[in-house]
């Protein structure tokens, strides 16, 4: 049978009393095609003369019957800000029912009880499903750094006559059945500029070309054993390659420019993907999750109705925080929400003191609200800015001039950022675990040898940003804003030069050019060596920070290794430059 015949037989399974005209209406094929297909189905032994399935058809139906399901529920759901800091996306309630529970119940209605749920972010909140629905939870430890291709790869051996389902889908009608005839991937009849596939005239799923829109991709699929073999092989190979770290699992369905499965095209009205706060509000204005503490806070700060908070858009996930942009009335703002584990790393009362010191000086982006208790912060969104390009020396020179002007203000706060103390503090957060680096203790001992040299050098002790990296310099025309002061404290201001260098992952020549940009008049050798010392010290500091974040489930790849390399390589450079002084 071809797909056309499968669709016709499928309608007859549901209701064998349908005539040819009704079958045409239900399947979307012409009456002529329906008539010719029925004739062939009878000749091939799949239908009896009175339009009932034969033993041959029932045997094939049994072979293709759904056996199990996989629900993908590991991701952050970053576009669901601010809800995703309170509940994982699969547990959002629509019409008083959690999304994932509705999907599980619909699977049960179709007779499917063997269900794997791949979890990651807030995995503990899904634990109750084990007892309530007897599902199997599978943990994807890479959920924070890789996309759902890697979640599906965790259960690839379970694929075969399987439904694959994202956890954030709401279907008005049950999309699952106790009988399936072929492998398919669900799309809707709505055009979508973000989609990578479209349904062509041959009823195939093919890649979109150029700027043409595709069909809205839903993410639900049914995979028979034959296609599952191909999918397993593709998942296994792709999961080994860094190029696919951020890939959605659907990419593994492609062979060239077409998918190995057929389209299951449904009406856009019958299925909704709940990806954003506003999509949830549109689908169910009474959803419990719309009563977000964060939305309520914004409403209080701006004395506005919650419905005036619109155009909510997640920004790139930072190394420490999650942030989103929103509109209130006629202006845009950014809300910062502290990320995983930051409460142990950052003193929000001290950060609040820093912002009080900066207030009214036009140094940073305007702060509308900040809590010294939990670190929630609302700032005005500055239109038309860009971050400093660390590969553009003109940008770098501008930012170093600005940084030096700030340092020359000699602002004071009541707390210090102790570099060596922080190295130990971050290490203490490892909870007894050892470093992943085999020579860590030797490296740390060498870095500590630099302390005496640093202590002997003259210093300008003032408010220091500590995280003065290229991404925190916002450039707009002739203005510069230095943002994100959560690590700031009293320290030698030259630490900021070292921090810029190691975040940009500069080599020694680039570091020397950076120092020259800060000191265009020239710099003494002792000051340069002191900055080299700071590079080694700060490299170990952020390496320890990365190790703690890794234990929290956040991975930084090349950045973490490079920081550790700075600790080792610049210790050796300082030892060669300073000789017996070390």
219 and 271 in contact (C-beta within 8 Å)? no
Average pLDDT over residues 71-100: 77
Tokens 């601010």 locate to 82
Q: What is the pLDDT, as a whole number, of residue 105?
A: 97
Burial of 240 (0-12, 13-18, 19+ CB in 10 A): exposed
386-581 has which CATH code? 3.90.1200.10
H helices of 196-262, where?
Answer: 225-239
Q: What are the pLDDT digits (tens) for 432-448?
A: 889 999 999 999 999 99
Q: What is the pLDDT, as a whole number, of residue 484?
A: 92
Tokens 């109705």 locate to 305
82 and 34 in contact (C-beta within 8 Å)? no
H helices of 110-222, where?
Answer: 128-133, 148-154
Q: What are the pLDDT digits (tens) for 47-63?
A: 888 888 889 988 988 99
**C-alpha to C-alpha distance for 527 and 507, rounded to whole angstroms:** 18
Q: What is the pLDDT, as a whole number, of residue 31?
A: 85
**CATH class of segment(s) 292-380:** alpha beta
Closest by alpha carbon to 556, among 295, 319, 308, 291? 319
Average pLDDT over residues 237-244: 94
Residue 249's pLDDT band (boundaries 50, 70, 90)? very high
The enclosing H or E element of 479 equals strand 479-482
Average pLDDT over residues 336-345: 69
The enclosing H or E element of 482 equals strand 479-482
Query: Higher model confidence: residue 138 or residue 34?
Result: 138
How many residues does this entry show for the chain?
A: 582
pLDDT at 340 over 60: no
**C-alpha to C-alpha distance for 353 and 334, rounded to whole angstroms:** 20
Average pLDDT over residues 512-526: 96
Query: Which residues make beta-bridge pairs with 262?
Result: 184
Share of the chain above pLDDT 70, in %: 92
Boundaries of CATH 3.90.1200.10 in the chain? 386-581
Boundaries of CATH 1.10.10 in the chain? 3-63
Q: What is the pLDDT, as a whole number, of residue 23?
A: 82
Residue 277's pLDDT band (boundaries 50, 70, 90)? low
Pairing between β-strand 331-338 and β-strand 377-380 as defined by DSSP bridges: antiparallel
Q: Which of 305-309, 361-365, 500-504 has the lowest mean pLDDT?
A: 305-309
pLDDT at 341 over 60: no
| Domain at 68-273: CATH architecture | Alpha-Beta Complex (3.90)
User: Among the CATH numbers 3.40.50, 1.20.120, 2.40.160, 1.10.10, which is that of 3-63?
Assistant: 1.10.10
Distance from the Cα of residue 147 to its chain's centroid: 7
Please, what is the Cα angle at 253 between 251 and 255, to 5 degrees?
A: 95
Q: What is the pLDDT, as a whole number, of residue 135?
A: 96
> What pTM did the predictor assign?
0.63
Residue 88's pLDDT band (boundaries 50, 70, 90)? confident
Average pLDDT over residues 133-153: 92
Boundaries of CATH 3.90.550.10 in the chain? 68-273
Closest by alpha carbon to 426, among 273, 541, 284? 541
152 and 209 in contact (C-beta within 8 Å)? no
Q: How far is CA 34 from CA 18, 23, 179, 221, 276, in A?
A: 12, 7, 21, 26, 41
pLDDT at 80 over 60: no
Residue 291's pLDDT band (boundaries 50, 70, 90)? low
pLDDT at 543 over 70: yes
Q: Which of 64-68, 295-299, 397-401 has the lowest mean pLDDT?
A: 295-299
Residue 323's pLDDT band (boundaries 50, 70, 90)? confident
Q: What is the pLDDT, as a whole number, of residue 1?
A: 67
Residue 112: partners with Cβ closer than 8 Å, 6 or more residues away: 66, 67, 68, 69, 163, 176, 178
Residue 122's pLDDT band (boundaries 50, 70, 90)? confident
71 and 35 in contact (C-beta within 8 Å)? no
Helix 525-551 vs helix 558-578: angle between axes, to the nearest 10 degrees? 150
Q: Which two three-digit tokens encode residue 581?
A: 């002084």
Boundaries of CATH 3.30.200.20 in the chain? 292-380
């Amino acid at each position: 049978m071809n797909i056309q015949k499968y669709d016709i037989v499928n309608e007859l399974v549901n209701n064998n009393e349908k005539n040819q005209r009704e079958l045409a209406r239900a399947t979307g094929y012409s009456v002529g095609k329906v008539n010719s297909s029925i004739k062939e189905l009878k000749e091939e032994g799949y239908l009896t003369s009175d339009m009932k399935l034969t033993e041959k058809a029932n045997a094939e139906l049994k072979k293709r019957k759904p056996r199990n399901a996989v629900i993908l529920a590991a991701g952050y759901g970053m576009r669901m800000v601010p809800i995703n800091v309170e509940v994982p996306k699969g547990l959002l309630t629509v019409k008083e029912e959690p999304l994932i529970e509705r999907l599980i119940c619909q699977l049960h209605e179709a007779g499917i009880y063997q269900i794997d749920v791949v979890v990651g972010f807030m995995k503990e909140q899904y634990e109750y499903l084990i007892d309530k629905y007897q599902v199997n939870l599978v943990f994807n430890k890479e959920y924070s750094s890789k996309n759902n291709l890697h979640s599906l790869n965790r259960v690839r051996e379970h694929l075969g006559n399987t439904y694959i389902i994202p956890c954030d889908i709401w279907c008005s009608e049950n999309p699952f059945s106790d009988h399936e005839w072929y492998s398919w991937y669900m799309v809707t009849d709505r055009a979508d500029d973000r989609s990578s596939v479209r349904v062509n005239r041959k009823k195939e799923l093919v890649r979109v070309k150029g700027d043409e829109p595709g069909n809205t991709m839903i993410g639900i699929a049914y995979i028979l054993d034959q296609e599952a073999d191909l999918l397993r092989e593709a998942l296994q190979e792709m999961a080994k390659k860094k190029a696919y770290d951020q890939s959605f699992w659907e990419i593994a369905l492609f062979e060239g420019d077409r998918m190995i499965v057929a389209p299951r095209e449904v009406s856009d009205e019958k299925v909704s993907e709940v990806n954003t706060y506003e999509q949830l509000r549109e689908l169910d204005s009474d959803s419990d999750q719309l009563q977000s503490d964060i939305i309520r806070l914004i409403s209080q700060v701006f004395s506005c109705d919650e419905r005036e908070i619109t155009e909510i858009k997640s920004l790139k996930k930072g190394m420490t925080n999650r942030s989103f942009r929103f509109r209130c009335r006629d202006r845009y703002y950014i809300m910062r929400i502290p990320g995983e584990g930051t409460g142990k790393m950052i003193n929000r009362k001290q950060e609040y003191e820093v912002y009080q010191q900066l207030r009214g000086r036009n140094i940073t982006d305007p702060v509308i609200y900040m809590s010294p208790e939990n670190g929630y912060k609302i700032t005005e969104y500055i239109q038309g800015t860009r971050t400093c390009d660390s590969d553009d020396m003109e940008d770098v020179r501008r930012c170093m001039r600005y940084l030096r002007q700030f340092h020359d203000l000699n602002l004071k706060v009541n707390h210090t950022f102790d570099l060596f103390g922080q190295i130990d503090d971050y290490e203490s957060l490892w909870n007894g675990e050892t470093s992943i680096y085999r020579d860590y203790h030797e490296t740390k001992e060498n870095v500590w040898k630099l302390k005496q040299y640093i202590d002997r050098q003259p210093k300008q002790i003032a408010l220091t940003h500590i995280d003065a990296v290229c991404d925190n310099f916002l450039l707009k025309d002739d203005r510069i804003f230095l943002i994100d002061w959560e690590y700031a404290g009293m320290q030698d201001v030259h630490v900021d030069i070292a921090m810029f260098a190691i975040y940009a992952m500069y080599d020694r020549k680039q570091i020397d050019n950076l120092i020259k940009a800060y000191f265009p008049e020239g710099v003494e050798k002792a000051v340069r060596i002191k900055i080299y010392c700071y590079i080694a010290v700060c490299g170990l500091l952020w390496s320890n920070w990365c190790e703690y974040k890794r234990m929290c489930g956040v991975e930084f790849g090349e950045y973490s290794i490079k920081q550790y390399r700075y600790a080792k390589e610049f210790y050796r450079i300082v030892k060669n430059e300073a000789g017996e002084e070390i």
